[in-house]
Structure 1
Amino acid sequence: MGSNFQILREELYEVISEVQTLEEIPMDFQGRFLSLINMVSFMLMEDRENFYGHFLLQMTREIKYDIASPTSVTFKGAKYVIAFNPFIYLSLTMEQMLSTIKHEIHHVIALHLIRAKGLKGTYSNLVINMAMDIVANQYLNYLPPYATTIEWVNSHYKLNLKPYNPLEYYAERIQRELNLEEDSETEEREESGIEKEYDLAKTHDQWREIKDIDDKTLQEFTEKFASEAIKGTIPVYLSSMLEDLNREKGEIPWNIYLKKLIGTLESKKKKTITRRNRRQPNRLDLRGELRSHVAQITVAIDISGSISDEEFNQAMKEVLNIVKNYNHEITIVECDTEIRRVYKVKGIKDLKERIITGGGTKFTPVFKYINSTDANILIYFTDGKGEEKLSIMPSGYTTLWLISGRGDKLSLKEPFGIIKKLKPVQINTDTIDLLDIKNEGWSMNSQQPMI
């Protein structure tokens, strides 16, 4: 089949290389190109690592001439759909063609289609794309010369990123070190409807088409696809990725859930001269927009000693990152069996060293206080140990419970909110200032650091 493959590839490449408009593409081109993809699929099935072949077998295939990468993936009609741009794909070697398909499957089983949404607004599109591609490419050989790898990013931007970390680790460090501004919206496609060159900033634009499915259902479909693809021996790195996928059982990380909550609060926007218009950033005569709704966020923390400074400080950095693009006010409430202190913060430097009482915990005083405010969201940090029943009913706000990595479960029989578990972080035993703690990039969410 090798010689037939090469002959067909060369013929198709010769045809497409001369095309300038979609109208010039021959009528039989699409059928012949999909025949080539069938050959690629057969190679993946015959490969020792046939997981990729069995996964691809379940995917719908389509041709899209306007994607800025050789392949792309989306989800439509209860199916994962893999798209191919012949203008870019046919320029690859056979080995590179196989790797680009594996690359897309890595995005799927690492839940990047879900997790990227939680990073939007906090990091630029370019940074998110780079971080995801570092993860998807780290186990692949025979990559295209333009592929984003950890070696290329470290060399090109003079960074020192460590291998085999989750995408949140790479996004946080790339954004912080390069201080990249949030991208303006992707420019409209050229009238020709053709992309002939790879463009990192646009590689995952097709994911915007995923609208009519919630994250939990999408993850359940992903688990099903992955389970059906396991027909034989799989490499160790894939085993690790699949274990992480199955471990989640559809849980949405707490920071993504919080971002969704914040997003539901904004409705109106006001004009501002301090921000450029996103659609036409070069038009200085057009004013940008800011969200006019002020999100009132209360962060309660159990100061009885159950939450470590490291956990709270790192999680608060994530909270502040999530809300920074919204008009917001954050109020900190410190409580054990009663409220000890209330103050407002605008940044991480405003956090005060907590008073550790070492006593018991009651949740009711916080809810009694919140009921008298105009709070929209309550984030409650605790180890979960307190009353079994609140003596006062929450009213007019959403509650997000964040259980310490050292905690077990919430003692309340009726929580009146969503419960998420924080992953443990390394606890410093030395006496250090709260504000000197270094953020090590582990995402404090309800999931393991998925590859």
Structure 2
Amino acid sequence: MENNFEDHVKELYERANKIADVSFKTNYKNSKADKDVLEDFEKEFFSLVDKVNLSLMEDKDNFYGYFLFQMSRKIRFDINSPTAVNFKGAKYIIYFNPIIFLNLNIKQMETTIKHEILHILSMHLIRAKEFKRDYSTLVVNMAMDIVVNTYLDNLPPYATTLDWVNVKYSLKLLPYKPFEYYAEKLRAVIDLVEEGKDVPKDNDNKDKKIETEYSPENTHDIWEDSSEIDEKTLKEFTEKFINSSQKGTIPDYLDSVILSFKNSKGELPWNLYLKRLMGTVISNKKKTITRRSRRQPYRLDLRGQLRSYKAKIAVAIDISGSISDEEFNQAIKEIISIVKNYNHEITVIECDSEIRRVYKIKSVKDIRNRMNIRGATRFNPVFEYANNNDINLLVYFTDGKGEDKLQEVPRGYKTLWVISGRGDKLSLKKPYGVVKKLNNVEVKDDMSNINECIRSGYSMMNQEPEQI
């Protein structure tokens, strides 16, 4: 059986190279003879994929086999990975590059299929679009692959793994951390490397071409070809796939992944939303002749840009007793971690029915013990202060129980409401900003240690081994 499979792989690999050569290296005329050859190859190739799927079905991970049954299959010689996925026409499609795929053994073939399905369960196809606004494509791809590959064995030799990244970039990244943790750490080193490059990669050639090698930077390009669909609808489609694939017992890690997916609310937690807001606040930039334009580096007549804007961030804390010291200290640490790469100024406002104290902080050490005053809660004084002090961003921590209408509405700045774990909802009928829930935090003795792992239940990346 094994020898027959290997012989089948070799024979198909030779045919794949011949077809690719005809299809992409010459003027392919789509003659009937050429179409017949391609159709015959596809039939043989997918019969081999069926054998791989049968092997998956016999394994304890048969969830993947049932999931694959529901997916459409297509061959594309122009993708930079053995497999790829996207969502089109109300279904998931898995693509195979035969030249790369057929260089794998059967266990590695199984793994690359599992890899794509884990990306789906993690909602990476949508999350990648969100994070590419702030991170490079390479950083996003590598961070997401690290998360997925941590759960897999029998990876191809070129796979992006945590060990490989740590060695390549001299890092000490920890396993089972969320995507954001890896993205932030990788951006710090990868962007530095990319910054020193004078000639960017040429992506102007849109013509299809044969791809024979894996590329971490382009491996998920096909995600961008997915149909335009909102996150809620895609999640509903995915959940149907999941429910049809759960036959019998599944591994603990996969059960945790699925549970996290089903419990997700499909929205960014407050700290990730704050990170996005910072990207919009820091929008004023100055021109410089010492740096080329990053969008058009060949245009020497265009000047590059440097940040010259200091963001004034006000952090209001309701001291009426609705938020614990642990919750607030943890939240402040998150904020400092998020804004540390920007030119910023943080002002803490302690308030209840009125503003009790205002002071500036630069680090966690500057946080003062909260005043022991417990009055009622009014939001209006904070907005009066913000309107009179040229604030760019207001983050308001409260249990949400205050007025139902603001007398002083915000002028010229963004507002992020963060409701305490004890709170339910914001009393204001019109909040003039986004309202998020504060996740429960773990009380730790070392207050200088920033909690990198955001436990929002948003995706599979939040699952650590001891929690499974």
Shift of 1:362: 2.6
| Residue 349 of structure 2 is aligned to residue 334 of structure 1 | yes
Alignment-derived partner of residue 10 in structure 1 = 10
Structure 1 distance, partners of 2:360, 2:55, is 60
Taking structure 1 as the reference length, what is the TM-score of the superposition?
0.81
- Structure 2 matches for 1:34-433, cutoff 5 A? 34-176=46-188, 180=192, 187-189=203-205, 191=207, 193-210=209-226, 212-258=228-274, 272-281=288-297, 284-288=300-304, 298-303=314-319, 306=323, 307-308=325-326, 310-317=329-336, 319-320=338-339, 324=342, 332=347, 334-337=349-352, 338-340=354-356, 348-349=362-363, 352-354=366-368, 356-358=370-372, 359-360=374-375, 361-370=377-386, 378-382=394-398, 384=399, 386-387=401-402, 389-392=404-407, 394=409, 399-404=415-420, 406-410=421-425, 412=427, 414=429, 416=431, 417-429=433-445
Letter in 1 for 2:336: K
Q: Larger deviation: 287-296 or 187-196? A: 287-296
Does the CA-based 8 Å contact 2:134-2:279 persist in structure 1? no
Inter-CA distance 182–257: structure 2 relative to 1 (3 Å threshold): farther
Q: Which runs of 5+ in 1 are unaligned?
A: none
Contact 1:16 1:86 in 2 (8 A): yes
Question: What is the alpha-carbon distance in structure 2 between the residues aligned to residue 256 and residue 73 of structure 1?
Answer: 26
Deviation at 1:147, TM superposition (A): 0.9
Deviation at 1:210, TM superposition (A): 4.2
Report deviation, 1:104: 0.8
**Deviations 1:299-342 (Å, cap 9, x if unpaired)?**
43335562545323332135426x84xxx876635131223456
Q: Secondary structure at the match of 1:163?
A: coil
Structure 1 letter corresponding to 2:38: F
| Equivalent position SS for 1:200 | coil
Tell whether the 8 Å contact from 2:81 to 2:215 is kept in structure 1 after alignment. Answer: yes
Q: CA deviation at 1:169?
A: 2.4
Number of aligned residues: 438
**Higher deviation after alignment, 417-426 or 144-153:** 417-426
TM-score w.r.t. the length of structure 2 is 0.78
Distance 1:150 1:99 in 2: 16
Task: State, as a whole percentage, how many aligned pairs show the same letter.
Answer: 46
Distance 1:373 1:284, change over 3 A: same
Q: 1:415 to 1:50 in 2, by over 3 A?
A: farther
- Secondary structure class of the residue paired with 2:316: strand
Q: CA deviation at 1:70?
A: 1.0
Structure 2 distance, partners of 1:138, 1:444, is 18
Q: CA deviation at 1:109?
A: 1.0
- Matched position secondary structure for 1:39: helix
* Distance in 2 between residues matched to 1:227 and 1:106, nearest whole Å: 15
Partners of 1:412 and 1:81 in 2: CA distance = 45
Question: 2:119–2:148: 8 Å Cα contact kept in structure 1?
Answer: yes
C-alpha separation between the residues in 2 aligned to 1:221 and 1:314? Answer: 37
* Structure-2 change in CA distance of 1:162 and 1:63 (3 Å): same
**Hey, what does 2:31 align to over in structure 1?**
none
Gap regions ≥5 residues in structure 2: 29-33, 464-468
1:318-372 CA distances to partner (integer Å, 9 max, x unpaired)? 5426x84xxx876635131223456788xx5599534612323432222344456
Give the superposition deviation at 1:425.
Answer: 3.6
Change (3 A) 1:217 1:427: same
3-state SS of 2:176 partner: coil
Residues 231-256 of structure 1: CA deviation (Å, up to 9, x unaligned): 22111110111111112132333344
